[in-house]
Amino acid sequence: MLVSITPHDLTNSESIEKDPGIKDTNRQGLFFVCTFLVTNTLVKKTIYREIMEPPCSFHPCDEAVIATNDDASDCKRCAVRLGYWKDDYIGFFVRNQDRKAPEINRGYFARVKGVEMCVEKFLKKTDGNCQIINLGCGFDTLYFRLRDTPHQVKNFIELDFPTVTARKCYTIKRNKVLLSKIHDEDGEVKLSPTDLHGPNYHLMGVDLRNIDEVDHKLQQAEIDYTLPTIFLAECVLVYIEQNNCKNLLKWIASKFSSAVFVNYEQVNMNDRFGDVMLNNLRSRGCSLAGVDACISLETQMSRFLECGWNGSRAWDMVQVYQSIPTPERQRIERIEMLDEGELLVQLFQHYCLVVAWIGELFQDIEITVEKRMSSLNID
């Protein structure tokens, strides 16, 4: 079935939906095509094929881990709404507008800015001739935000549980603003219930513990193992069993000739405050199967070195926060007064940013820290 959408439709419609008359009578063969008339004088075609596949299954114990995506996305949405950083796309994925504690908002600001600083350094070094692989991507909007900047990459790949990617695919499919960032004038976007493939963007459902499945999915995304690649993981490895995590890191080290891994995760989990954090997560059903690597900055770094990576460095989030340019810190510190400044310091001390590398591209990575606790507003 062919559906034609005019420029008027694109201007006035908030979403693009499948014709309700289409019925899924053949799950393996059904597809539909939308032809967009992008301008009044030129017809530019973008094709969407929706190939129906049986949904992927996951372990029942993974449900609590999957739910952490909603929590993180809600927190990011709150911070964005208050003006901590700009994100024009998170609102498509998160409707909840519950207000979070100021310490949580500032913590997520440091998390997002820390990862962004590493990505920006990587993009400058590679001049865009690179790939980004977002592990456990959730509803992260980095791809869409990068499309609004001069920074472009050869390939952007996102992986997460099929249950999560199915929701993300559905949201992208329904919103023309998101779709317009993925397709180009002659591009093709292929959709299944859990996967989406665009010219340089691929969102796929996969269990990161299954290396063969990960390899297969990356090949579907036209991965180039020789191209400089940055891996991003925010509170992902901690939920993966130690052996499975090592297998994943070893596999990456063996396949990619030039790679960087940016890992945001818990640290110092063997003290009293860490115990409280662990008990809170476990009470929600999160087993934290990989917590042994979160004992210290040293254990975080050694995990990569033991798996064949050439080098690694780590900073707790106090250091990362103090590395953010002073004007930017001062701006966000005026948004909200902290209820408990000491609590923010404790939170920052129990999260870290780890950077590991293969090859020589990122071995000079450094975070410049200003030695002044006053930046945390606890004087």
- Residues contributing to the annotated binding site for S-adenosyl-L-methionine: 111, 136, 207-208, 234
CB-based contact 76:112 (threshold 8 Å): yes
Dist CA 177 CA 225 (whole Å):
31
Count the helix, strand and coil residues of the chain and give each as a percent rounded to the nearest 5: 45, 15, 40
DSSP characters over 92-128 = HH----PPPPHHHHHHHHHHHHHHHHHHHHHHHHHTT
CB-based contact 357:262 (threshold 8 Å): no
Sign of CA dihedral 104, 335, 143, 153: negative
Q: Which amino acid is at 285?
A: G
> Which tokens sit at 27?
């799950």
Partnered with residue 262 across adjacent β-strands are 232, 355
Known binding site: residues? Answer: 111, 136, 207-208, 234
Report phi then psi at 260, rounded to 5.
-130, 140
Report phi then psi at 189, rounded to 5.
-115, 120
Contacts of 333 (CB under 8 A, 6+ apart): 106, 375, 377
CB-based contact 47:188 (threshold 8 Å): yes
185 secondary structure, DSSP code: T
Residue in this structure with the two tokens 């900047």, named with its chain if needed: 149
